Amino acid sequence: MPPPYYTEPNEDNINNEIHFYIVIKKVKKVYHCPYCWAKNKIKIEGDYKIIRYHPPDFQVEQYNLPLVFWDIKFPEDIREFSSRCNKCGRDIHVELWPYSIGDKRNSKNVNYYLKLGLGKTNKIDHEFFLESILTRFCKSLRVNYVIGSFFFMLTLALIWIIPLTITGGLSRVINDYGFLVIFIMSFLMLILLKRHSDILRKYLDCRNLPILLHENYLKSNWCTTLEEMSFKGNVLGHPYSLIKAPTFCGLVAVLFYILWRITIFINTNNFDAFLELTTTYYSFHISFISFLFGIPFWTMLLLIIGNVIWLFLATASLTGLIGRFMPLNINVIKELGGVEIFGKILLSSSYPMATIGVCLPIMLVVGLGFGTLVFLLGLFLIFLFMLMMGIGFFYPLIPIHKKIKKIKENEMEKISNRLDVAYSKIKEDYRKIPEKELLSNHLLISYYNRILNLSEWPFKINTLIKIFSAIIIPLLSFFLNFIFFSGF
Ligand SMILES: [Zn+2]
């Protein structure tokens, strides 16, 4: 891209009386490699105020997804390019910024971003809407998060149940085992969601993740930007954004639900069906009043589900991107190569998904009734859901698995080459080998065995059992619900 101030003379402006012909001098800019801190130089044309450099930018733009709420809108005149470190040969993402912080030409988000990178702000807020209302709720009751979440869902449920009881629908609630399960699951979802977001806040940090970055880069403010924007920001929502990504996804879930109700209304032309007064299975709400007072609970449930789905998808995509685009600090001597954190993060994000899996069959049966067709459709949907959970866990780990495998093979080859030499010496005459060398050969063999036993996947067998249990839960719930509901 030519610099914006440069104008080539051509026929038109030569004929005109005035033309500008400005050549901006080439300027040298220096940047450090985030991996080895080597000084790299580039020559550029134009006046750029700020230079920033990072590991390859693996944000979502690479996939050209139109997810605008995920991005920070950069000014059009910044120059971004990929450069290669002249010492270690790794790719570096370099950006040149034409304006300094506080310049009016930068948007608010960009100013925030630059401030963070230059260490001029510490205000980092990753709490999303659902968390913040729960925190406030718990504070006002002066209880801990678990008890608070229970009372939060109970309050919303009571807003529905009390008018329902007054209008004579108590037996409806007492006999509704589906509601009871969904209620318990919604409370569990809140706890598991909080647990997962706390894990993300703690571990999506360059010092906790096994990434190969130079100590000086780790100390720099640009590293903070990488953590806050590319890691935590992509999952928990960017600190500056008004509606954070998880909340956005929650709202989308609510919107889908409303659209679904409207579709039913249009198809059946029945206002009662829209209000869920009659569904195929049974009347869900007994009156208009019950429908109205049910709104807070059911909207909150969908909002929570949306948040859970977002955190699951975003965790999986971020883990996959880190594994693919960043050099990992894999230590073959450590158990699981020292990269088990990736397996842990993905496992914790599949727990809240499993609670949705418990609710899903109930929603299906209540919404569509039960018959052979619904059974088959339900089974298909449950399998899709389970497949999504499986892919969400294993797929992001594939690049990490490949890296572990490669490093393991390299290390083993190195050792076995040395052992080959030792072996040929032993064959000649082992008595000639000095004692020190024999000892080192012993050590090599024990290291060889240790590396040989290194797992090529970043999880232990108990994690595998846990993830399979989480994946199978929706199917169990599906069969149990069909047996239960058919028995009515
Ligand atoms: Zn380098």
How far does the centroid of ligand 1 lie from the alpha carbon of residue 218, in Å?
A: 14
Helices (H) and strands (E) in the chain, counts: 17, 5
Residue-by-residue pLDDT tens, the chain, 488 positions: 444 444 444 444 444 444 444 455 677 888 899 999 999 988 888 788 888 888 876 654 444 444 545 566 677 788 888 889 999 999 888 888 888 888 888 888 788 888 888 888 877 888 899 999 999 999 999 999 999 999 999 999 999 888 888 877 777 777 777 888 999 999 999 999 999 999 999 999 999 999 999 999 999 888 888 888 888 988 998 888 888 889 999 999 999 988 887 777 777 666 666 565 554 444 455 667 777 888 899 899 999 999 999 999 999 989 998 998 888 999 888 888 889 999 999 999 999 999 999 998 888 877 676 678 888 888 999 999 999 999 999 999 999 999 999 999 999 999 999 988 888 888 887 777 788 888 888 899 999 999 998 899 999 999 999 999 999 999 999 988 878 766 54
| Structural contact between residues 42 and 29, judged by C-beta atoms closer than 8 angstroms | yes
3-state secondary structure of 27: strand
* Residue range 338-374, pLDDT digits in tens: 899 999 999 999 999 999 999 988 888 776 766 788 8
The span from the CA of 221 to the CA of 468, in Å, is: 40
How far does the centroid of ligand 1 lie from the alpha carbon of residue 32, in Å?
A: 8
How far does the centroid of ligand 1 lie from the alpha carbon of residue 408, in Å?
A: 23
How far does the centroid of ligand 1 lie from the alpha carbon of residue 214, in Å?
A: 9
How far does the centroid of ligand 1 lie from the alpha carbon of residue 89, in Å?
A: 6
How far does the centroid of ligand 1 lie from the alpha carbon of residue 52, in Å?
A: 15
Question: Is the pTM for the entire model greater than 0.75?
Answer: yes
How far does the centroid of ligand 1 lie from the alpha carbon of residue 95, in Å?
A: 17
How far does the centroid of ligand 1 lie from the alpha carbon of residue 166, in Å?
A: 71
How far does the centroid of ligand 1 lie from the alpha carbon of residue 101, in Å?
A: 28
DSSP 3-state helix, strand, coil percentages of the chain (rounded to 5)? 65, 5, 30
C-alpha closest to that of 33 among 24, 41, 45 = 41
Give me the half-sphere count of Cα atoms (radius 13 Å) on the Cβ side of residue 145.
15
How far does the centroid of ligand 1 lie from the alpha carbon of residue 84, in Å?
A: 8
How far does the centroid of ligand 1 lie from the alpha carbon of residue 90, in Å?
A: 6
How far does the centroid of ligand 1 lie from the alpha carbon of residue 91, in Å?
A: 8
* Residue range 117-143, pLDDT digits in tens: 888 887 788 889 999 999 999 999 999
| Structural contact between residues 434 and 425, judged by C-beta atoms closer than 8 angstroms | no
| Structural contact between residues 456 and 404, judged by C-beta atoms closer than 8 angstroms | yes
